[in-house]
Amino acid sequence: MGEKSKGFFVTGDPLIYGADVAIIVTLLGIIIFLTVFKKWGWLWKEWFTTVDHKRIGIMYLVSSLLMLFRGGVDALLMRLQLAAPNTHFLTSQHYNEIFTTHGTIMILFMAMPFMFALFNIVIPLQIGARDVAYPFLNALSFWLFFFGALLFNLSFVVGGSPDAGWLSYPPLSEIAGSPGPGQNFYIWGIQISGIGSLATGINFLVTILKMRAPGMKLMKMPLFSWSVLSSCITIIFAFPVLTVTLALLFVDRYLGAHIFTADSGNPMMYVNLIWMWGHPEVYIVVLPAFGIYSEIVSTFSKKKIFGYKSMVFSMMIISILGYFTWVHHFFTMGAGADVNTFFAITTMAIGIPTGVKIFNWLFTMFRGRITISQPMLWTIAFIPCFVVGGATGVMLAIAPADYQYHNSYFLIAHFHQTLIGGVVFGYLAGLYYWWPKMFGFKLNERLGKWAFWTWNIGFYVCFMPQYALGFMGMTRRVYTYGWDMGWAPFNMVSTVGAFLMGIGFIFQAWQILYSIKNGEKDVTGDPWNGRTLEWSIPSPAPLYNFAVIPEVKHDDDWWETKKAMADSQYKKEPPQYEPIHMPKQSGIPFIMSACWFVVGFGFTFGWSYVGLAGLLGVGLCLLARSFQQETDYYIPVDEVRKTEASLGRVG
Amino acid sequence: MNQAISKHTHEHEHHHDTFKLLGFWIFLVTDCIIFACLFAVYAVLRGHTDGDLTGKELFEIKGFTAETFILLTSSFTSGLATLALHKGKKAQLINWLIVTVVLGLAFVGLEVSEFRTMVHEGASISTNGFLSAFFTLVGTHGLHVSFGLIWMTAVILQIRRHGINEKVKEKVTIVGLYWHFLDVVWIFIYTVVYLMGVM
Ligand code: HEM
Ligand SMILES: [Cu+2]
């Protein structure tokens, strides 16, 4: 843990003091703002206790964008350090901490919540439902994520950051290798938010299976919903493995057990287990992105998606195959030729359904009347990027060759290409696409184009040189290198690219702020001439989403309805409102997650009594919930009618 | 896309009840995976005794047989509780649940004393890989049982307060399912850990 984790507060680095000051000033600013404008009650009533999926989605979104910022700053610090040989901007210890927090935050606290934001915002609207299957659990999932992320980020100022890599392999991550609290922050931060993710997986699976509007057969379901279904199934099978693995690592560290230790345990078992979660995890995050691309391609080509059935089938295949490839992350373990061959083949096999999807997107665009809007731009940029990322992935899957590429910058370039080009581009495309549905206005085009181009050019400038660096022998997780290696020019170029992406992010922040004031209002609820049910209701959707639950007859049902409505013969029946059954809000999810935070914080510092007190709080919250009787209420017909009229939807 | 007939909204509410059960089944799948991993870990570390005592020397047949017997009986009594639930007999239901809780307590008590004896014999979680895996696997099951005891007690209090209504029915069904699940897991522990350990 180096020089800086002796005391409770992290000290010794001007960067950290700067950050401390920034954090304190921001916190004070927020507190003063909330107090002066008397917003505490508002915050509690409207947000902290909400069980409305649309609001939960927005909270996920805000958190994930903040985490993208933090993860991005980490990335830029690393790129600065690597820009030139023999740089002394970061120490080796600090570099280790930063790549660890960068990787962990980007995957678990940026990609996952960004994905859950889109699940929450879109799924109920797209399947014609009024909420998710378990709204209370949904709120709990969010707050577990929130407090987990908070705990993890706290390591920056108290106790010291984890520094054993984003997957924290033992024996380094064991107590002997990492004696400070940093590693415990990692375990508890991920554990707490991971339980929330697991619950979300169950929640949305049941929502999709049970709450579709009448008539929406599974094979009439929009592809984004299908992608969420496949992602949820993968979550359900993968996340328990993560839970066990982290719990066992903690048992080792806390009780002195020997499960993964090098003497009496088996460290490679950890590596196997964590990748049994880790590989499916990358499909968990990319499948919904595939769903987003499908929606966007179809909407902006004004065509039904090409090969709907093969799209569904390939996603299901991917989520199954994704469970049988984990060993490709450590071909070098020495499991033997037969084992490596098996995993090389399964890995390459995933390329087939993925290729099918790429062709389907292309065929959908072929002869379509394409409009190049912002969501479409990101989708079009995704295709070549992911093709290259996939091809380098197949190169890595060739087990004997991987002995050369393993843990080199070739790998770093490969997985950033799939994670940024596939996942981040996809979520950003989805963000632009559904933004009007969330907030009732569009994001500014011109700033969006600037963001798009800086991000994209920056991406290639940053990561293409890294493929070359990999071939030149530069390994990952090195904090500096000498002139004699010949890596200097490529690294400099790469750093320039990283900063271009940073500028892209700034454009996006600016774009959002600018559009909040000047964005084009979406008065129709259907700004893109959409095809699926979410576009049939006002933007933003009212609390109950659908005043009357729609009856679905076709795939792309809203598109067909619009066609029917254009017909002069079309007669609209007056809507028959009924009282709407809604879940009541609750403060328990927030309080219970705060108790989990106490549990995590206590055990992180080895203060068992604090941890146990937290557990007691969790138990009391569970009991309080169990004893609650009235958990729902009805919105009366009059109120529904009034709301609909105020939204310009008079029956 | 027409207006749905009013029937649907009503159906919708009834669905909410079956939702919980479906969700709980899926939760059990995830819990199964957790135990599957712990079993796998145990299988890998079974031989890592580092020359210390092995299962054969540590496990007491009388103890774990009694535990098995008690837990199986409690599963049976929780089944009887479900029967009483379906017959709508409140007093019987409460009584069988209490019997189940008492048996569960006895099980946990025996397990705790078994663990204590082992620790006194110098076989603790930090002794070697084998014991680490043993204590985490069996201990996780024990924690599940303890959690179930608190949960079942809460359900009993709710039955006393509100009688048998739809909500209570659902809760008894779900906690019963959980209890049977723990029983099944125990059968695997009994076989894989104890029987194969002493053989
Ligand atoms: C914004 C552009 C990004 C840049 C410039 C960037 C840069 C970097 C750098 C320099 C490293 C460390 C390489 C090393 O020393 O081994 C790294 C590692 C990593 N990055 Fe990124 N990154 C970016 C975005 C992302 C995103 C969006 C994700 C995931 C969604 C991600 C996931 C990871 C992971 C998992 C690691 C491995 C950490 C470890 O070695 O433990 N990165 N990245
Ligand atoms: Cu993988």
Check if the beta carbon of residue A111 is closer than 8 Å to that of residue A419: yes
- C-alpha closest to that of A604 among A153, A227, A170, A271: A153
> For A614-617, which contacts have Cβ atoms below 8 Å and span 24 or more sequence positions?
A617/A591, A617/A592
Q: Is the residue at A169 inside a domain? A: yes
Tokens of B149: 């005891």
Distance of CA A543 to the CA centre of its chain: 25
Of all protein residues, the one whose alpha carbon is nearest to atom 33 of ligand 1 is A103
Least confident stretch, A75-89, A203-217, A405-419, A566-580 = A566-580
Position A235 pLDDT exceeds 90:
yes
A411-462 pLDDT, tens digit each: 999 999 999 999 999 999 999 999 999 999 999 999 999 999 999 999 999 9
Q: Is the residue at A596 inside a domain? A: yes
Rounded Cα–Cα distance for residues B119 and A88 (Å):
51
The mean pLDDT of chain A is 93
Rounded Cα–Cα distance for residues A577 and A588 (Å):
32
Which whole number is the average pLDDT over A103-128? 97
Chain B residues whose beta carbon lies within 8 Å of the beta carbon of residue A237:
29, 33
Least confident stretch, A12-26, A49-63, A211-225 = A12-26
Cβ of A500 less than 6 Å from ligand 1 = no
Which pLDDT band holds residue B33 (cuts at 50, 70, 90)? very high
pTM recorded for the entire structure = 0.94
Q: Where are the beta strands (DSSP E) in A180-327?
A: none
Q: What is the CATH number of the domain that holds A499?
A: 1.20.210.10
Cβ of A107 less than 6 Å from ligand 1 = yes
Q: How far is the CA of B47 from the centre of ligand 2 (A)?
A: 30
Which whole number is the average pLDDT over A23-45? 86
Query: Three-state DSSP class for A551?
Result: strand
Q: How far is the CA of A568 from the centre of ligand 1 (A)?
A: 56
DSSP A483: G
Which whole number is the average pLDDT over B73-95? 95
Question: Is the Cβ of A86 closer than 8 Å to some Cβ of chain B?
Answer: no
Check if the beta carbon of residue A128 is closer than 8 Å to that of residue A216: yes
Binary contact (B136, A248; C-beta < 8 A): yes
Q: How many domains does chain A have?
A: 1
Cβ of A412 less than 6 Å from ligand 1 = yes
- Residue from A102, A166, A271, A409 whose mutation best tests the ligand 1 pocket (most atoms within 8 A of CB): A102
The ipTM estimated for the assembled molecules is 0.93
For residue A47, the model assigns a pLDDT of 93
How large is the angle between the packed helices A53-82 and A425-439, nearest 10 degrees?
140
Q: How far is the CA of A278 from the centre of ligand 2 (A)?
A: 7
For residue B199, the model assigns a pLDDT of 83
User: Which ligand has its closest atom nearest to the C-alpha of A344?
Assistant: 2
Question: Is the Cβ of A516 closer than 8 Å to some Cβ of chain B?
Answer: no
Give the closest of A264, A557, A575 to B128, CB-based.
A264
Tokens of B101: 């809780």
For residue B17, the model assigns a pLDDT of 56
Position A608 pLDDT exceeds 90:
yes
Task: Identify whether A170 is preceded by a cis peptide bond (ω within 30 of 0).
Answer: no
Mutate to test the interface with B, among A136, A138, A202, A236 (most CBs of B within 10 A): A202
Instruction: Give the distance from residue A625's alpha carbon to the nearest chain B alpha carbon, in angstroms.
Output: 11
- C-alpha closest to that of A310 among A356, A346, A361: A356
For residue A15, the model assigns a pLDDT of 76
- Total Cβ atoms within 10 A of residue A321: 18
Cβ of A100 less than 6 Å from ligand 1 = yes
For residue A218, the model assigns a pLDDT of 95
Rounded Cα–Cα distance for residues A133 and A31 (Å):
35
Binary contact (B41, A259; C-beta < 8 A): yes
Print the domain residue range for A184.
2-646
Binary contact (A627, B8; C-beta < 8 A): no
For residue A13, the model assigns a pLDDT of 76
Q: Which domains does chain B have, with CATH numbers?
A: 2-198 (1.20.120.80)
Distance of CA A239 to the CA centre of its chain: 14
> CA A89, A156, A505: angle at the middle one, nearest 5?
70
Surface of B (156-195) touching A: CB under 8 A: 157-158, 162, 167, 171
Check residues A210 and A27 and name the one with the higher pLDDT: A210
Q: Is the residue at A651 inside a domain? A: no
SS3 string, A444-478, reads: CHHHHHHHHHHHHHHHHHHHHHHHHHHHCCCECCC
Rounded Cα–Cα distance for residues B40 and A244 (Å):
11
